[in-house]
Amino acid sequence: MGSLWPEGHSSSLLCVGGSPGPEGLIASGAEGGEVTLWTQEGAIVGRLVLPGQEDITSAVFSPADSAHLYVSHGDTVSVLDPRNLKGPVENFQGAGEEEINALALNETGSAVAVADDSGAVRILEIPGGRVCRSLRRHTNICSSVAFRPHRPNNLVSVGLDMQVILWGLQKTRPLWTFNLQDVAEEEDAHQQRPGQLFNPPLAHCVSVSSCGNILGCAAEDGRVHLMRIGSGSKLEQQGAIKAHTQGASQVHFISFFSHPYWMVTGGNDGQVALWDLCKHPVVAPEGKTQATAPQRRKGKSSGRRREQAQDKSKPKKKAEREEAEEDDEEAVAKEQESSMEEEKSGPKITISHGDKVNWLCPAVLKGEPSIIVADQSTNLTVYPLSQL
């Protein structure tokens, strides 16, 4: 089903990014400082090994100018010109306090957000690369950042401290912080299924839908945690989909489909999945009232209370046994209902890629919607989505 783009690298691929526009190039980064540029047909148009040969951890084209490609390696951000891939046009050394894990550019290309191992998020002014903001709230590695479309002063960051933070850049402080561990502990008790590993929800990747209101966060517990941002940038609703049987490493909303709630995910289980979230309770407005209602353990129904009051003459053990049987039946019914709902809202496409997914890049290649996958090999893999 997939086609390989070979011979671009000699080391394991770590990241891939696409240039805007119908004829846009694709950039891939690998261990050892390797950067490769590709046409939409998969032909190599340029290769470069950066001085120092540090791993290329992120590759992002400016949405405002495809002649600017930003790559991170070590604590440095280098600006490359894809038209003349001889070496960096600029180097922003010390852009990160420690090794950089991810980059994000705002819609105008005037700012670059840098997430690093220290947990800090830095905002660099473009041009020049001057650090104009330093955001400190993560207590562990900051793994991913994303600007919120249509809200230039909003930035989302996630990290291995299991925190999702929405920042207001004008005041350099969080508008809100959400701890994935809180909801994960609540859900794990009654959502376990065979093959699902319940690791702590370390947050690996964050993406924001093109409308700017839905966040997706891929986490080590195999879930993609979803959040809806309402008026005043408030966290209005949250939920999750059980996307992978091992850690979810990648999540990206897709901007070129019929609505902004198509999403692709990748995981350590070697699976790539495509999701249509338009009816998910976090996304769908009609699910708001029901979904935001406090989740409480159901008490005994009035009918059950009456039966127990009328049946005090029964031996105590017999009554307890009957009540336990009723609870078991109720639990089975809930499990079946949950399973049916999960099947109904499952992925539209599941691709067995077979290797751990390091990065995903949705792209339209020669007019065909596609997903580009970077894994631990030296080859990119392209999967067409023409069946949609």
> What's residue 220's pLDDT?
97
Over 70: is that where the pLDDT of 295 sits?
no
- Give the residue ranges of DSSP H helices in 281-368: 288-292, 302-310, 316-344
> What's residue 21's pLDDT?
78
pLDDT digits 0-9 by tens, 316-358: 455 556 665 665 566 555 444 444 444 456 999 999 999 999 9
pLDDT digits 0-9 by tens, 190-218: 555 555 556 899 999 999 999 999 999 99
Q: Report yes or no: 15 and 360 within 8 Å, Cβ to Cβ.
A: no
Q: Report yes or no: 236 and 166 within 8 Å, Cβ to Cβ.
A: no
> What's residue 289's pLDDT?
36
Over 50: is that where the pLDDT of 268 sits?
yes
pTM reported for the whole predicted model: 0.83
> What's residue 68's pLDDT?
96
Q: How many CB atoms lie within 10 A of CB 143?
A: 25
In order, the DSSP letters of 224-248 are EEEEEE-GGG-EEEEEEEE--SS-E
C-alpha angle 268/269/274, rounded to 5°?
95
Query: Cα–chain-centroid distance for residue 230?
Result: 20
